[in-house]
Amino acid sequence: METKRDMMVKVPVREQDPKVRAANFEEVCLGYNKEEAMAEAERCLNCKNAKCIAGCPVSIDIPAFIQEVKNGALEEAARVIARASALPAVCGRVCPQETQCEGLCIRGIKGEPVSIGKLERFVADWSREHGFVPEAPEKTNGKKVAVIGSGPCGLTCAGDLAKLGYEVTIFEALHEAGGVLTYGIPEFRLPKADVVQPEIDNVKKLGVRIETNVVIGKSVTIDELMEEEGFKAVFIGSGAGLPKFMGIPGENANGVFSANEYLTRSNLMKAFREDYDTPLMIGKNVVVVGGGNVAMDAARTALRLGAEVHIVYRRSEKELPARAEEVHHAKEEGIKFDLLTNPVEILTDDNGWVSGIICRRMELGEPDESGRRRPVEQAGSDFRIDADTVIMALGTSPNPLISATTEGLSVNRWKCIIADEKDGKTTKEGVYAGGDAVTGAATVILAMEAGRAGARGIDEYLSGKR
Amino acid sequence: MYQILKAEKLADKIYLMVVEAPRIARSCEPGEFVIVKIDEEGERVPLTICDYDREKGTVTIVFQTVGASTQRMSDLKAGDAFRDFVGPLGNPSEFVKEDPETLKKKKILFVAGGVGAAPVYPQVKWMKEHGIDVDVIVGSKTKDLLILTEEMEKQAGSLYITTDDGSFGHKGMVTEVITDLVESQGKKYDTCVAIGPMIMMKFVCLLTKKLAIPTVVSLNPIMVDGTGMCGACRVTVGDKVKFACVDGPEFDGHLVNFDEAMKRQQLYRTQEGRAMLRIQEGDTHHGGCGHCGGEE
The whole-number pLDDT of residue B282 equals: 58
Task: Determine how many CB atoms are found less than 10 A away from the CB of residue A217.
Answer: 19
Task: Give the pLDDT confidence of A28-58 residue by residue, as tens digits.
Answer: 999 999 999 999 999 999 999 999 999 888 8
Q: From the CA of B221, how many Å to the nearest CA of chain A? A: 12
CA A214 to chain centre: 22
- A31-50: buried (b, 16+ CB within 10 Å) or exposed (e) per residue? bbeeebbbebbebbeeeeeb
Task: Return all residues near A385 (Cβ < 8 A) that are at least 6 apart.
Answer: A285, A287, A310, A312, A338, A356, A357, A359
Asked if B227 and A399 come within 8 Å (Cβ–Cβ), the reply is yes
Task: Return all residues near A26 (Cβ < 8 A) that are at least 6 apart.
Answer: A16, A187, A188, A191
Task: Give the pLDDT confidence of B220-236 residue by residue, as tens digits.
Answer: 899 999 999 999 999 99
DSSP-based three-state secondary structure for A184: coil
Q: CA-CA distance, A243 to A333, in Å (whole number)? A: 26
Asked if A399 and B27 come within 8 Å (Cβ–Cβ), the reply is no
Output B269-277 pairs: Cβ under 8 A, ≥24 positions apart: B271/A279, B271/A280, B271/A281, B272/A279, B272/B67, B272/B68, B275/A277, B275/A279, B275/B67, B275/B68, B275/B69, B276/B67, B276/B68, B276/B71
Asked if A220 and B23 come within 8 Å (Cβ–Cβ), the reply is yes
* Nearest-CB residue to B263 (from A245, A277, A352): A352
- Asked if B170 and B176 touch (Cβ cutoff 8 Å), the reply is yes
Asked if A245 and B86 come within 8 Å (Cβ–Cβ), the reply is no
Q: CA-CA distance, B267 to A278, in Å (whole number)? A: 13
Asked if B224 and A175 come within 8 Å (Cβ–Cβ), the reply is no
- Asked if A42 and A70 touch (Cβ cutoff 8 Å), the reply is yes
- Asked if A107 and A66 touch (Cβ cutoff 8 Å), the reply is no
Alpha-helical segments (H) within A367-443: 401-404, 436-439
* Nearest-CB residue to B267 (from A174, A254, A260): A254
**Which residues in chain A have Cβ-Cβ distances shorter than 8 Å to B246?**
399, 401
Cα distances (angstroms) measured from residue A168 to each of A172, A216, A463: 13, 16, 15
- Asked if A415 and A236 touch (Cβ cutoff 8 Å), the reply is no
**Which residues in chain A have Cβ-Cβ distances shorter than 8 Å to B235?**
252
Q: What is the DSSP letter of B78?
A: B
Q: From the CA of A392, how many Å to the nearest CA of chain B? A: 11
Q: CA-CA distance, B87 to B78, in Å (whole number)? A: 21
Nearest C-alpha neighbor of A271 from the set B90, B268, B48: B268
HSE-CB at B206 with a 13 A cutoff on CA atoms is: 11
**Which residues in chain B have Cβ-Cβ distances shorter than 8 Å to A275?**
41
* Nearest-CB residue to B43 (from A275, A277, A401): A277
Asked if A215 and B89 come within 8 Å (Cβ–Cβ), the reply is yes
Dihedral of CA atoms A268, A273, A277, A281 in degrees, nearest 10, equals 80
- 10 Å CB burial of residue A148 (0-12, 13-18, 19+) is buried
B91 touches chain A (CB under 8 A): no
B43 touches chain A (CB under 8 A): yes
Evaluate the omega torsion of the peptide bond into residue B88 and state whether it is cis, within 30 degrees of 0.
yes
**Which residues in chain A have Cβ-Cβ distances shorter than 8 Å to B27?**
218-220
The whole-number pLDDT of residue B285 equals: 47
Q: What is the DSSP letter of B98?
A: S
Q: From the CA of A183, how many Å to the nearest CA of chain B? A: 10
Q: CA-CA distance, A305 to A280, in Å (whole number)? A: 10
Nearest C-alpha neighbor of A147 from the set A415, A431, A411: A431
Q: What is the pLDDT along chain A (466 residues), one digit of tens a residue?
A: 455 678 889 999 999 999 999 888 899 999 999 999 999 999 999 999 999 999 888 889 999 999 999 999 999 999 999 888 888 888 888 888 888 899 999 999 999 999 999 999 999 999 999 988 767 667 788 899 999 999 999 999 998 899 889 999 999 999 999 999 999 999 999 999 888 999 899 899 889 999 999 999 999 999 999 999 999 999 999 999 999 999 999 999 999 999 999 999 999 999 888 888 888 887 899 999 999 999 999 999 999 999 999 999 999 998 899 988 899 999 999 999 999 999 999 999 988 899 999 999 999 988 888 777 888 999 899 999 999 999 999 999 998 888 888 889 999 998 899 999 999 999 999 999 999 999 998 888 889 889 989 999 999 999 875 4
DSSP-based three-state secondary structure for A225: helix
* Nearest-CB residue to B229 (from A243, A255, A277): A243
Q: From the CA of B287, how many Å to the nearest CA of chain A? A: 15
**Which residues in chain A have Cβ-Cβ distances shorter than 8 Å to B24?**
219
This model of the complex carries an ipTM of 0.87
**Which residues in chain A have Cβ-Cβ distances shorter than 8 Å to B43?**
269, 276-279
**Which residues in chain B have Cβ-Cβ distances shorter than 8 Å to A258?**
230-232
B3 touches chain A (CB under 8 A): no
The whole-number pLDDT of residue B207 equals: 96
Query: Residues in chain A whose beta carbon is closer than 8 A to a beta carbon of chain B?
Result: 173-175, 212-215, 218-220, 241-243, 245, 247, 251-252, 254-255, 257-258, 260-261, 264-265, 269-270, 275-281, 351-352, 396, 399, 401
* Nearest-CB residue to B84 (from A213, A215, A352): A213
Q: From the CA of B261, how many Å to the nearest CA of chain A? A: 9
The whole-number pLDDT of residue A85 equals: 81
Asked if B86 and A264 come within 8 Å (Cβ–Cβ), the reply is no
Strand A354-367, strand A383-386: pairing: antiparallel
Nearest C-alpha neighbor of A298 from the set A335, A263, A343: A263
Nearest C-alpha neighbor of A151 from the set A455, A430, A436: A436
**Which residues in chain A have Cβ-Cβ distances shorter than 8 Å to B240?**
none
- 10 Å CB burial of residue A454 (0-12, 13-18, 19+) is buried
DSSP-based three-state secondary structure for B31: coil
Alpha-helical segments (H) within B105-156: 117-129, 149-155
- Bridge partners (DSSP) of residue A236 are A148, A433
Asked if B231 and A243 come within 8 Å (Cβ–Cβ), the reply is yes
The whole-number pLDDT of residue B292 equals: 46
Residues in chain B with pLDDT < 50? Answer: 285-296
Evaluate the omega torsion of the peptide bond into residue A243 and state whether it is cis, within 30 degrees of 0.
no
- A222-259: buried (b, 16+ CB within 10 Å) or exposed (e) per residue? bbbbbeeeebbbbbbbbbbbbbbebebebbbbbbbbbb
Asked if B229 and A219 come within 8 Å (Cβ–Cβ), the reply is no
The whole-number pLDDT of residue A273 equals: 84
Q: CA-CA distance, B189 to B185, in Å (whole number)? A: 12
Best residue in A197, A210, A213 to probe B by mutation, most B CBs within 10 Å?
Answer: A213
Asked if A243 and B230 come within 8 Å (Cβ–Cβ), the reply is yes
- Asked if A162 and A208 touch (Cβ cutoff 8 Å), the reply is yes
The whole-number pLDDT of residue A464 equals: 79
Task: Return all residues near A150 (Cβ < 8 A) that are at least 6 apart.
Answer: A158, A170, A172, A177, A178, A179, A200, A210, A212
CA B240 to chain centre: 23
**Predicted TM-score (pTM) of this structure:** 0.88
Could you report how far apart the first and last alpha carbons of chain B are, in Å?
34
- Asked if A344 and A359 touch (Cβ cutoff 8 Å), the reply is yes
**Which residues in chain B have Cβ-Cβ distances shorter than 8 Å to A220?**
23, 26-27
Asked if A258 and B89 come within 8 Å (Cβ–Cβ), the reply is no
- Asked if A455 and A449 touch (Cβ cutoff 8 Å), the reply is no
